[in-house]
Structure 1
Amino acid sequence: MSKNNNNAIKIPKPILITAKTLEVMSNKLAAKFAMKLFRTPMKFKLPKREQKMDKESKQEFLEIPGVNEKIRVYHLGNSNKKVLLVHGWSGRGTQLCSIAYKFVKKGYSTVSFDAPAHGKSTGKTSDMTEFIASIQELDKKYGPFEYAIGHSLGAMSVLNAIKRGLKVKKAIIIGSGDVIKDIMNDFIIKLGMNVATEKEMIKLFEKKFNTTINSYSAYIAAKEVNIPVLIIHDEDDNDVPVSAAHHLYKHLNNAELVITEGLGHRKILGDKEVIKKILQFTEDEEDNNDNANSV
């Protein structure tokens, strides 16, 4: 499972200059700026590899109650056996296209979406609570789903959604983040800001969401997830350290851990060996069902 690594997304220089300038003036002012950046996804041109799914999928808008935004939903395949796909931060509903087509070929259909403020969905800012709300609404309208597959923040959202009632047979989490405070700390470091600004940012976070900074951390949700979970993470992931995968593995009740090399944070989604492992993990469920029916 080895290929050339990809680089992490870099923050534009003008943003870095603004961040440092505001910090000189006031840590509170800098924290407000950082918080807005933290909740504003970057948008990218649709890659060629995703255009096929964008053209062939059935698409519609779905309003998410409480969020007051409409998400773009992508349906691929016609089977009643459905798989939910959840992209990561600054991703799109077509980002897991390679995985989607393999499941369709295996007789499933997939449901994916652009989270609020991502892709074709409405909104300018977003966060994990809105990812979770989107998953919950999709489950109400199109569920039940056989499996849920999430990447990065999408993986964290899947675990939190399961904790909050999403019913799936198995889950696959790829390049998942873990501790919210660690993610925020990494973001502050990349902005070149100091600890005082980070503390102010944490205060803003906890005030906005009326909860502690780590309440949505993946490892906390993992403790309440009892279904089988496949954890896939690359050793050379520059966006999310592989230590997150090992930490989640310790807190999940029924997990399998696969560590790859040289795929980074995004190329891992299209790797043939990775997808083969995902299919094998879900096919084990089918084999067990067939054996149970034959007894």
Structure 2
Amino acid sequence: MQAYVFEPETGVATRTVLLVHGWTGDAGSMAGFVEPLLAAGFRVVAFDLPGHGASTGRELNIPLGVASLAAVARVFGPFQAIVTHSFGGAITLAALAGSVRGQPAVSAQRLVLIAAPSSITRITRQFGHAIGLGRRGQAALERCIHVVAGNPVEAFEGPLQLKAIGLPTLVIHDRQDRELGFQHAQALAESGPFVRLEATDGLGHRRILKARPVAESVARFVAGEG
């Protein structure tokens, strides 16, 4: 796993924030959050998920992602917060909830989910429909997921995992996100009173990562100011 560590210029950071990118991204795609978090006094760690960036591997799924996150946590944890984007949010929820058998649960004090999916079941079935799977094909696909992950696909539902975790959570999602509709954010926000939803307009699924107001809002939340 390729990891990158950023230390604040003034003083020694006592708290660490982990950045987890999404599908087809890499650590660099989360770069917009580094400066605001450093300015708030945090050490920042970013890493490339398997098969992405400079990390080895040719594939990525939730079990592989959870294993890589757990490995990073063993070296750089504990974490004040984990800030995620897209599929990185699904991986992080599974890691925090201990949803992948054989992997220890990762811990953090706060969680940020940016443009994250709420339902892996829905995404799996949308994928099956898109490639023309019938009922038997879809059932076979979900059995494969069960074998690989050690749990049925329903165990990775975002609201279910968030309720089990119960961490102060900030959900940020754009109303015009065409890759993962805003309903995903709404479903996550209904997990409990510990979840706060912030909506943006016109940033889509990826440009949201480059918006300075979003990065500053994340830094304030991580620091406990919101």
TM-score (norm 2): 0.87
Runs of 4 or more, structure 1, over 4 Å off, are 192-196
CA distance in 1, matches of 2:148, 2:165: 26
Identify which of 201, 222, 226 aligns with 1:282: 222
Provide structure 2 residue ranges, at least 5 long, that are not aligned to the other structure: 99-104
CA distance in 2, matches of 1:102, 1:122: 29
Q: CA deviation at 1:267?
A: 0.5
Alignment match, 2:81: 147
Q: CA deviation at 1:257?
A: 0.5
| Residues 123-166 of structure 1 deviation map (CA, whole Å, 9 limit, x = unaligned) | 11121112112222222111111111011111122222222333
Alignment match, 1:76: 6
RMSD: 1.9
Which segment drifts farther, 202-211 or 184-193? 184-193
Task: Report if the CA contact (8 A) 1:223-1:253 is conserved.
Answer: no
Alignment match, 1:136: 70
CA distance in 1, matches of 2:106, 2:175: 29
Amino acid at match of 1:74: Y
Q: CA deviation at 1:92?
A: 0.4
Alignment match, 2:101: none
Alignment match, 2:102: none
Q: CA deviation at 1:192?
A: 5.2
Amino acid at match of 1:240: L
Identify which of 230, 238, 257 aligns with 2:197: 257
1:211 aligns with 2:127: no
CA distance in 1, matches of 2:208, 2:132: 29
Amino acid at match of 1:77: E
Alignment match, 1:35: none
Alignment match, 1:105: 39
Q: CA deviation at 1:195?
A: 4.8
Whichever of the two has the greater Rg, that structure is: 1
1:235 aligns with 2:175: yes
Identify which of 20, 33, 49 aligns with 1:86: 20
Task: Report if the CA contact (8 A) 1:86-1:151 is conserved.
Answer: yes
TM-score (norm 1): 0.68
Task: Report if the CA contact (8 A) 1:219-1:248 is conserved.
Answer: yes
Task: Report if the CA contact (8 A) 2:19-2:45 is conserved.
Answer: yes
Amino acid at match of 2:59: T
CA distance in 2, matches of 1:184, 1:176: 15
Task: Report if the CA contact (8 A) 2:177-2:203 is conserved.
Answer: yes
Alignment match, 1:273: 213
Provide structure 1 residue ranges, at least 5 long, that are not aligned to the other structure: 1-70, 289-295
CA distance in 2, matches of 1:126, 1:240: 19
Task: Report if the CA contact (8 A) 1:234-1:262 is conserved.
Answer: yes
Task: Report if the CA contact (8 A) 2:177-2:204 is conserved.
Answer: yes
Q: CA deviation at 1:206?
A: 2.1
CA distance in 2, matches of 1:88, 1:150: 7
Q: CA deviation at 1:253?
A: 4.6
